[in-house]
């Protein structure tokens, strides 16, 4: 799912490029697709905006995709199966069909937004609109990561350091989301990890000359490390450390 402008050209139903020429200069066999130009509109790509303006009224549907702050968010949408037409004169075959999704709110003088999508052909319109509007949620997640969980606090220059810092920030964010969805489940997970750490069967005694010490099994070590990793992520991000 990618947002595009109204000037992007596509091949709507009923339009397609001309096949390669039978022969070109110096006796070579043609391999590139050809455009028909203004004289042959059925062999010339069409802009997305002009295609949207030509759609019939019954192709537009009102779709609600989520609850807003004050009311439900809804708008009018239409979709058409098209083929992208970018620089087809340099290609030897047309692209695969994909969806063109168009948003045109009621009362506006022209369409507002356009998306090209490779979602399956049998995808419901409401699901397609939901996927198109996911950008808002992704931007909110990124904003929370930067402002509340320390993603923007990194001041180093190395990729490894940034990767470690981002991993801890994302892990802390995932932990908070999990607690927000099901606080009891997160509490049970931490309790079970603590019990695994302290369970006698998880430890074995190893003796060396003059001393004995306990060794935890690998499974118990991993279980015990889980809450420590979460705590470390929270400490690092809330303190702004790098």
In the predicted model, is pLDDT for residue 49 greater than 50?
A: yes
Q: Of 116, 35, 59, 55, which Cα lies nearest the Cα of 83?
A: 116
Beta strands in 118-168 (DSSP E): none
d(CA 74, CA 40): 39
pLDDT of 57 higher than 70: yes
In terms of average pLDDT, the best of 60-64, 65-69, 152-156 is 60-64
Residue 224 has pLDDT above 80, yes or no: no
- Residue 83's H or E segment, with its range, is strand 72-84
Give the per-residue pLDDT at 209.
53
Mean pLDDT of the 17-37 span: 67
- Rounded to the nearest integer, the mean pLDDT of the chain is 77
Helix (H, G, I), strand (E, B) or coil at 145: helix
Task: Identify whether the C-beta of residue 160 lies closer than 8 Å to the C-beta of residue 135.
Answer: no
Q: Check whether 236 has a pLDDT greater than 60.
A: no
Sequence-distant (6+) residues with CB within 8 A of 149 are 169, 172, 173, 176, 237
Of 2-6, 110-114, 205-209, the least confident: 205-209
Instruction: Name the residue with tokens 């400490």.
Output: 235
Q: What is the mean pLDDT of residues 118-124?
A: 93
pLDDT at residue 29, rounded to an integer: 59
DSSP 167-191: HHHHHHHHHHHHHHH-HHHHHHHHH
Q: Look at residue 235 in the predicted model and tell me its pLDDT.
A: 46
The residue that leads in pLDDT, 204 or 9, is 9
Q: Give the pLDDT score at 130.
A: 92
The encoded tokens of residue 36 equal 């028909």
The predicted pLDDT at position 28 comes to 60
Contact 110, 104 (CB under 8 A): yes
Own/partner pairs for 193-199, CB < 8 Å, 24+ apart?
A: 193/223, 193/224, 193/226, 193/227, 194/224, 194/227, 196/220, 196/223, 196/224, 197/223, 197/224
pLDDT of residue 82: 94
Q: How confident is the model over 160-179, as pLDDT tens digits?
A: 988 998 898 889 888 888 88
Q: In terms of pLDDT, which residue wins out, 32 or 195? A: 32
């Amino acid at each position: 799912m990618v947002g595009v402008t109204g000037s992007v050209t596509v091949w709507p139903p009923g339009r397609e490029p001309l096949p390669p020429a039978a022969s070109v200069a110096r006796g070579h066999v043609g391999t590139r697709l050809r455009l028909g130009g203004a004289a042959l509109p059925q062999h010339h790509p069409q802009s997305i905006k002009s295609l949207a303006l030509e759609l019939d009224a019954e192709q537009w549907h009102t779709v609600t995709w989520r609850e807003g702050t004050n009311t439900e968010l809804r708008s009018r949408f239409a979709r058409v199966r098209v083929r992208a037409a970018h620089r087809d004169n340099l290609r030897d075959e047309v692209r695969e069909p994909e969806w063109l999704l168009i948003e045109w709110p009621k009362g506006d003088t022209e369409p507002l937004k356009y998306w090209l999508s490779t979602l399956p052909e049998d995808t419901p319109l409401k699901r397609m609109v939901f996927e198109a509007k996911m950008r808002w949620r992704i931007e909110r997640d990124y904003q929370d990561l930067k402002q509340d969980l320390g993603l923007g606090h990194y001041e180093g220059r190395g990729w490894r350091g940034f990767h470690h810092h981002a991993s801890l920030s994302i892990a802390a964010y995932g932990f908070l989301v999990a607690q927000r969805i099901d606080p009891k489940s997160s509490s049970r997970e931490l309790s079970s990890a603590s019990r695994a750490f302290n369970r006698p069967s998880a430890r074995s005694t190893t003796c060396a000359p003059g001393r004995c010490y306990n060794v935890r099994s690998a499974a118990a070590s991993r279980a015990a490390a889980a809450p420590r990793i979460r705590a470390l992520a929270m400490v690092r991000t809330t303190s702004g450390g790098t």
